Amino acid sequence: MNPLPRDLFARRLRQERERLGISQAELARRMAALLGTNVDSTAITRIEQQTRAVRLDEAVTAAEALGVPLITLVSDDYARESEAEIQNQLAELALAEQEWERLHQKIHRITRTIQQLSAEREGFRSHALDVNPETAGDYELDPETQAALDARMCDAHNKSAGEVTDSGS
């Protein structure tokens, strides 16, 4: 049998109040400030013990004072759905972090390969200049590719320097 909304409200009011670590007196004080009228802490006690019915304005104000939607205080389904959504989002976050790490490693691997190939090309170019200065131009990249490579290498160097700085602090 499903609990009645008043039963859920009483239980969830206590749970949310305790989750926040506030007393019944503090909740009553917050509600009084929002309502602009006196709310006695014994009213909160009696509501939580289900010996006193809660008025609609009190229910709305209690939710506001606790910083939760009113539906949180009257529905177990909301709590279950909220928990399920949190779990789904955490799982999605874990997958995204794994994907980010995989891509980060791929970028690092590609950058190292480009650096290695650039160093080898520079070695060939230097050797060609020593052996036959006329063929040194054979090892030059077209200007557009060279500009793109220079920009990427500069960017990779700046990021590497930033990682060293970040991890060293």
- Which amino acid is residue 76, in one-letter code? D
Q: Are 20 and 66 in contact (CB under 8 A)?
A: yes
Q: Is the pLDDT of residue 169 over 50?
A: no
Residue 158's pLDDT is: 74
Q: What is the pLDDT of residues 38-85, one digit of tens each?
A: 999 999 999 999 999 999 999 999 999 999 999 888 877 665 666 767
DSSP string, 23-61: -HHHHHHHHHHHHTS---HHHHHHHHTTSSPPPHHHHHH
5-74 CATH choice from 1.10.10.10, 1.10.260.40, 3.20.20.100, 3.30.300.30: 1.10.260.40
Q: What is the pLDDT of residues 100-158, one digit of tens each?
A: 999 999 999 998 998 898 888 787 777 767 776 666 566 566 778 777 777 777 776 67
